A and B are shown apart, each in its own frame.
Chain A
Amino acid sequence: MHIPDGFIGPGVSVAAGITALGGFGVALRKTHGYLTDRLVPMAALVAAFVFAAQMINFPVLPGMSGHLLGGVLAAVLVGPWAGCIVVSLVLIVQALLFADGGLSALGLNIVNMALIGAVGGYVIYRALFRLGGSRASRVPPCAGLAALISVPLAAMGFVLEFALGGTVESISLGSVFWAMLGANLLIGVGEGLITFLVIGAVMRSRSDLVYGSPTFGGARSEELVS
């Protein structure tokens, strides 16, 4: 879902750039509250994993593929704000090293995939998790479902940006809306499945490292949970 240069005009791109920069600053500040020595390598590993997973485009429809966005995955593992930073860093590396995602569109992509995808996705995760009793066994399915929802939600970010700053006037907004919603619901199923499996694997091996789990921090260091 990486927006290239040219799709969205300069006004909306700059506004998104300022929003992304502000969001990144807020995220750094918010992360302070639970930033421990063990979160540093964990967040770095999650960033590398999200980068790697994003390389894997899976077929969705004839002529169309999708890949993991990783917002909810990162947010459940290291928290929403650190997750937002993680996804932002992945997008920065992709744009600067791999020419993937436009340079002028970097702010747009950070807004859609890091702010909406990770922070917004985590809000959905928390709501789902609290809805049915916050048991550790419910972490992977709730993460998977939130991940599914987060992908069309991030796509709606693009639709809004396109409505405000699309460079072609003659396109029907309704058709872009429905096409993006439909396509990204399908990709969301893949996102949800991967997130469910990866969070499940980490929960089985080191549930004390999973921020979004009641087991976070383990029994030994309860001060990490607060």
Chain B
Amino acid sequence: MVFFGVGLLITVVIAAVVSQFASTQPDSLMYVAEQGGFVNTAEAHALDQSPLAGYGGDSESRRVVAGVAGVLATLGLGYLVFFLAKAGKTRAEG
């Protein structure tokens, strides 16, 4: 329980605070795509206009919201999927 609480606290701090200092340079794939001349084949993301698209962009407060929302979403989805898998396993074993 202590491990879980501390782990979650560290996770939220990384997502909401440390992420403010993340590099905004392109990652390896986008860098190689730029150098290789195929970056323009990338299509706009269908959900580009969604409120959390791009992790909140330039706005500091929106990046905090995006970080916390992402942590809650992955935590919740992860719990749900593994909980259901566990429930299915228990049922299968009778």
Contacts and interface: CB of A to CB of B under 8 A. Distances in A.
Nearest to A187: B28
Nearest to A3: B29
Contacts of B7: 45, 49
Interface residues of A, number: 73
Decide if the interface of chain B is mainly helix, strand, loop or mixed: helix
A55 B69 CA distance: 12
Interface residues of B, number: 61
A89 to B, nearest CB: 5
A99 interface: yes
A45 B75 contact: yes
Nearest to B19: A55
Given A63-B31, A82-B82, A97-B52, A35 B89 contact: yes
Nearest to A172: B36
A51 B74 contact: yes
A189 to B, nearest CB: 12
Nearest to A179: B32
Interface string B17-33: 01101111111110111
Given A97-B52, A167-B41, A206-B3, A51 B15 contact: yes
A66 B31 CA distance: 10
Interface string A197-213: 00000000110010000
Nearest to A78: B82
Contact of A40 (B54, B76, B77, B79): B79
6 contacts: A1-B29, A59-B25, A98-B55, A98-B66, A99-B52, A183-B28
